[in-house]
Amino acid sequence: MTEYKNRRVVLARRPKGEVADADLRLEAAEIPALAEGEILIKVLWLSLDPYMRPQMNDMKSYIEPIAIDAVISGESVGQVVESRSADYAVGDYVSSYSGWQEYFVAPASQQSMYKVEPRGLPLSVFLGAAGMPGRTAYLGLTRVGKPQQGETVVVSAASGAVGSVVGQVAKMLGCRAVGVAGGEEKCRYVTGELGFDACIDYKAGNLAADLAAACPGGIDVYFENVGGEVTRAVAPLLNKGSRVPVCGYISAYNEENIAAVETPFDILGALPEPPEHSFFVVSDWQDEHQEVTRQLADWVEAGKLKYRESVVEGLENAADAFRGMLRGRNFGKQLVKIAE
């Protein structure tokens, strides 16, 4: 048995609405001795992402729901501390879907596990701008949104980990980028720091009118992260031939009966001329993982791709940070610092 001690967060019961403390359980867990071909990863940074909330429900989706008493799913960056694999050496940094825990045993052949080359960048970047959210933004925008130079691209949750990259990439492609975010501070960041052409504060109470004023030529690409009132404001402004990559709709994730929620597909499908719209997941382009990660890291290193992070320390604070993220309390990518 290894000398290391693990703690993990597991699903104690299915949440009804917002995740309650009693829905999750922080527990100690033994770490088994490594078998041939396995590695032990010490988790350093844990990513918190909206997709984790629907996974806690007992419902069909593109990914299996988390089982009761199973570790909450999640991506992390960690360091190999023991290895019985020729492919990984002690000291290697890796990204993996370790879940919410401090140590993780994985076979070297584990899917979606990759070595991380820090290149002088903070390791946390590989869970944000140069990680899964960045890849989601880049691939969803370019492969599904297919923006053309001069077009107007609107993105909801524009100050978040995905939305912030969508707008910056849209600008690189010669598009007009308009964000939707919650609060004056986030909107100032989106235009002043990230370089969007405009940002609408949905909390100001004039969403539809403000969005129409910011998009006088209509909307060609809408990158969907939120759903609800934002989608309803966007829908009338969509141009003929517009495209809508649907990444998610976080506004519904805490609903007790998410199946009864009016989805972006309901709203867009009811239009006289529905835009081209489809749900996507970043794993659709898994074979491009390393290439896109390198491109995003290059842009971060060159100062072309900017980002912001919200960080809490300690696994015991993950649940509260997760609830806050779903309420929009975070600013940028939400992370948990697990260890040095």
**Distance from C-alpha of 340 to C-alpha of 303, rounded to nearest angstrom:** 25
Give the pLDDT score at 294. 96
- Domain range summary for the chain, segments of one domain joined by +: 6-126+308-337, 132-283
Which range among 33-37, 249-253, 305-309, 319-323 shows the weakest confidence by mean pLDDT?
249-253
| pLDDT above 90: percentage of residues in the chain | 89
Backbone angles phi, psi at 201, to 5 degrees: -85, 105
pLDDT at 3 over 90: no
Give the pLDDT score at 124. 98
Dump pLDDT digits (tens) for 139-191.
999 999 999 999 999 999 999 999 999 999 999 999 999 999 999 999 999 99
- At 252, is the pLDDT very low, low, confident or very high (cuts 50, 70, 90)? confident
pLDDT at 114 over 70: yes
Ranges 1-5, 63-67, 208-212, 251-255, most confident: 208-212
| pLDDT above 70: percentage of residues in the chain | 99
Nearby residues of 192 by Cβ (< 8 Å), 6 or more positions away: none
**What stretch of H or E contains 182?**
none
* Residue pointed to by tokens 């088994």: 32
Strands (E), the chain: 6-11, 24-29, 38-47, 76-83, 93-96, 103-107, 114-115, 152-156, 176-181, 198-201, 219-223, 238-246, 276-279, 309-313, 333-337
Q: Which residue has the higher pLDDT, 257 or 11?
A: 11
Strands 198-201 and 176-181: parallel
Average pLDDT of 97-123?
95
Burial 64-80 (b: 16+ CB within 10 A, else e): ebbeeeebbbbbbbbbb
- Specify the CATH superfamily of domain 132-283: NAD(P)-binding Rossmann-like Domain (3.40.50.720)
Say which CATH topology domain 6-126+308-337 has.
Quinone Oxidoreductase; Chain A, domain 1 (3.90.180)
Dump pLDDT digits (tens) for 280-329.
999 999 999 999 999 999 999 999 999 999 999 999 999 999 999 999 88
Cα angle for residues 268, 248, 78 (degrees, 5° grid): 165
pLDDT at 243 over 60: yes
Average pLDDT of the chain to the nearest whole number: 95
Give the pLDDT score at 261. 80
Question: Are 220 and 153 within 8 A, CB to CB?
Answer: yes
pLDDT at 1 over 60: no
Average pLDDT of 190-201?
98
- At 74, is the pLDDT very low, low, confident or very high (cuts 50, 70, 90)? very high
pLDDT at 63 over 90: no
Backbone angles phi, psi at 259, to 5 degrees: -65, -20
Asked whether this chain's domains 6-126+308-337 and 132-283 adopt the same fold, the reply is no
**Distance from C-alpha of 194 to C-alpha of 305, rounded to nearest angstrom:** 8
Give the pLDDT score at 2. 65
Number of H helices, E strands in the chain: 9, 15
